[in-house]
Structure 1
Amino acid sequence: MKKLDRRQFLRTSLAGAASLSPLSALLGMLPEARAADSSGGYKALVCVLLEGGADAFNMVAPKQGSAHEAYRDVRGSMALSGSALLGFDPASYDDGVSYGFHPRMNRMHELFGRQKLAVIANVGTLVQPVSRAEILNGAPVPNQLFSHNTQRDQWMTADAAVRQKAGWAARMADVFDPDEPLFNLTSGGKNLMQQGGAKSTFEFDGGGIYAFDDYYAFREDGALGETYRQLLQHDSSHGNRLVEAYAHRRNNNIALFNALSGILEDAPDFPEFSGGVHESGAPLGKQLRAVARMLAVKDQFPNRPQRQVFFVNYHGWDTHNTPLDADSHLVDYLDKSLGAFQDALAQLGLEQQVTTFTCSDFGRSITPNGQGTDHGWGGHAFVMGGAIKGGDIYGTMPRIRRESPDALDDRLIPGISVEQYYAPLATWFGASTQELDVIFPNLHRFSGSGLEFMDQDVLFSDGFE
């Protein structure tokens, strides 16, 4: 992958379209732009992958009473004290247990109190709703449970019953606008959630735009570079339809990369995002800052897309030997990064239009594994934004105790499927009931599939505003 140098691009003059201004070239090559909704109809989803399997049972835990004692008993030395947990009162959820956030989740605790964050309890991959007894009697469960890659893929495709080739965000793009090249965007790298649709995913970071396979376009010497440049000049005149199609698509992409590089030069910097320390990959703050910069200039995008899905990736959650104790840097950095991102959305006036949500490979075991926890199954997720009915817990909180009836061994059985979790987000985007069945082919197995954590005042029954 080579980063696109805009000045170098302009020097090379790859194709006839490149000799025009980048934006003019792009608009001339793309399909006719559809009418943009300038009345506030824009909506975006931001997926935050906690890669490795987040131990959400130390992020939201029983705070006092017998439930806390059972939690301390099963979690052992890694259990958080009740006095350290940040207590909260859900708006409507009540199972008789008092809960609290991890002591490093100060911003998320604050956002929950302001009804801008919600907890989705015990979500995971499911073929169909199952209990412990049904599993022991042979009910189907997802393939290769507790496997990082397989379970992450099932979260990304939102179908544990059939192996899908396309991710759910890619299918959603095809439902809404298969011709829009800026529907799915990522600052967290390639991911299955956004792959497999009619359009490829657009990759970017805080410093600029990426070109995926134009290495030879930037070589000023050598036969391969010259051959590549000549190829791109034949998007309608070569005579070979395959060559013309390839050249046409690459010219479109090059013009798009160049246009957005220019647009991003004027985007705000958002210096309040911290860099953070990471095991691998770009830090979460850098990725969310890049998304905020993109959102700041979204109205300058060609065609002014009305629906967009962004992806970011926070590595490092495979915590076999790193417990999420009271001083956890993983939780602290997640909290600060999400808080800074929500602040940036408020600064841009986009709190109502952008919804952020988390996902992970799987939850963790409720019993320790060394200093940390082992691969699990169900786990909690978080949804953040001004368009959610925040300050509440959705679903049913599992019982964190020895021999829990909600667990298979010491792995909690999800009470909510991935499809049930994602469906309200797609509905908020404007998907109809019929379109939900296309985006989530296995959704029909789960009755009452619509969790009501999105504000009904901003839901659409069908299509765009």
Structure 2
Amino acid sequence: MTTDEACCPEMRAMSRRGVLQGAALLGASATIGSAVVTIAGAAPAAAASTLGTGTIVVLSLRGAADGLSLVVPHGDAAYYAARPTIAIPKTSLLAADSFFGLHPKLAPLLPLWNAGTLAAVHATGLPVANRSHFAAMEQLEDADPGSAARVGWLNRMIGTDTDTSPLQGLALGSLVPTSLQGPEGALSMPSLADSLAGDPAYAPGTPRTVSLGCAWSKDSSPMATAMRSTLAATPKLATALTQPDRTSTYGGSDLGAALATVARVIKAGIGVSAVTVDQGDWDMHTDLGTLTKGRMLANAGDLATAIAAFFADLGTLASNVTLVTISEFGRRVAENSNAGLDHGWGNVMFVAGAGVKGGKYYGTWPGLTNSLDADLTVTTDYRSVLAEIVAARTTASTATVFPGFSPTTVGVMRTA
């Protein structure tokens, strides 16, 4: 039997053109059955990992979260003067010290805070303000200002590893974000159920997988390499489906469902080193709200509930996982006429899990100005926080991951 004959009968119904719906600039996207799979880069067979056994989870708060609501600087009088209707009273704050306190809806995170595995770093962000959502997020995720190469910082991180499996980098969503794009393999999926691993028709040895393998076997294009890599990774990813699904404990949000999937993948022990997850709807120009109503209540509550459930779900494996939150920029200090906040600059980052020196607020406070156009000034480049996590949790060189950048000491991670 020839190779072409082996690809039948499925080839009559599934041409390469019919199966694949599009390609990213530096990767390949496929719609196969009900699954949407994206591979960034082209990964050959994997070798033993040298990056370590831990996992870094990057949780992007898309839309520009208001860090001054999440971690309130109650010690700065300009905060209350600038927000006559949406400021959070000092008496309602959680884990308050002499200057900062947590939004009340972050209560599910208090056990992590009190256990010393959750910290906040304030006045973080890009070194130069960029108030365009898409441009700022791309700049954050690329983390290599001035470079023409479209390679994200997480792709550079996993590129230092000898393990070149596409499962080294995993994005929960339909596309690989900028942070994972580049020459190293990375997989994206909306959920385990929507991945090839979740569809019995694409199990190893089925007519469809045989047909797809044949269809792409003689093609040397990046798309073909990505398809072969996806098919090779699917049996390994399928082991995550054998892990208990505790989505019901995550609060019912999309973020909770995504982090529940991440927990199953980590518990499967398949060697994932970098994971990206998104939470949206932080662009609160209107109706940010108070402690009794508004959009901040729901988003902050979902964030805290999902993160707390994630670490509880991991159990003892939580000692191998570090989670960091990031947002493209913060919001203005002063509220606008719609009880919301317009685009600003500085923000807060949460760091949780393995290696974190928690129960503390970090960063250099620049002081606030009570005017409509005032921003929270960035005093800590966000890359300094990420570099500290990379240095503490992996064997990757921070000089490679963040080219041309000299980090300042934040102190949020244990070094030994």
Match of 2:325 in 1: 358
Match of 1:137 in 2: none
Q: 1:47 aligns with which of 58, 73, 84?
A: 58
- Mapped partners of 2:289, 2:380: distance in 1: 24
Give the C-alpha shift of residue 248 in structure 1: 5.6
Find out whether 1:269 has 2:245 as its counterpart: yes
- Mapped partners of 1:269, 1:152: distance in 2: 31
Q: 2:356 aligns with which of 388, 411, 432?
A: 388
Match of 2:193 in 1: 207
Q: Which amino acid aligns with 1:34?
A: A
Match of 1:62 in 2: 73
Find out whether 1:312 has 2:294 as its counterpart: no
Say if 1:36 and 1:427 are closer, same or farther in 2 by CA, change over 3 A: closer
- Mapped partners of 1:375, 1:32: distance in 2: 43
Q: 1:147 aligns with which of 129, 132, 135?
A: 132
- Mapped partners of 1:252, 1:154: distance in 2: 28
Contact 1:178–1:198 (8 Å) recurs in 2: no
Say if 1:231 and 1:456 are closer, same or farther in 2 by CA, change over 3 A: closer
Structure 2 unmatched runs, 5+: 1-6, 15-42
Match of 1:80 in 2: 88
Matches within 5 A, 1:145-224: 145-162=130-147, 164-177=149-162, 179-190=164-175, 191-203=177-189, 205-210=191-196
The DSSP-based 3-state class of the residue aligned with 2:249 is coil
Contact 2:48–2:163 (8 Å) recurs in 1: no
Give the C-alpha shift of residue 187 in structure 1: 1.1
Q: 1:377 aligns with which of 341, 345, 370?
A: 345
Find out whether 1:334 has 2:303 as its counterpart: yes
Contact 1:324–1:330 (8 Å) recurs in 2: no
Match of 2:266 in 1: 295
Contact 1:161–1:442 (8 Å) recurs in 2: no
- Mapped partners of 1:174, 1:197: distance in 2: 8
Match of 2:37 in 1: none
Q: Which amino acid aligns with 2:415?
A: Q
- Mapped partners of 1:230, 1:100: distance in 2: 58
Contact 1:120–1:381 (8 Å) recurs in 2: yes
Deviation per CA, 1:406-454: give whole Å up to 9, x if none. Answer: xx9411221111211210111123346xx2222101313x5xx242211
- Mapped partners of 1:335, 1:173: distance in 2: 28
Q: Which amino acid aligns with 2:178?
A: L
Contact 1:182–1:202 (8 Å) recurs in 2: no
- Mapped partners of 1:35, 1:436: distance in 2: 18
Match of 1:430 in 2: 394
The DSSP-based 3-state class of the residue aligned with 1:205 is coil
Match of 1:132 in 2: none
Say if 1:365 and 1:209 are closer, same or farther in 2 by CA, change over 3 A: same
Match of 2:414 in 1: 455
Give the C-alpha shift of residue 260 in structure 1: 2.0
Matches within 5 A, 1:69-148: 69-89=77-97, 97-126=98-127, 141=128, 145-148=130-133
Q: What is the CA RMSD across the aligned residues, in angstroms?
A: 3.2
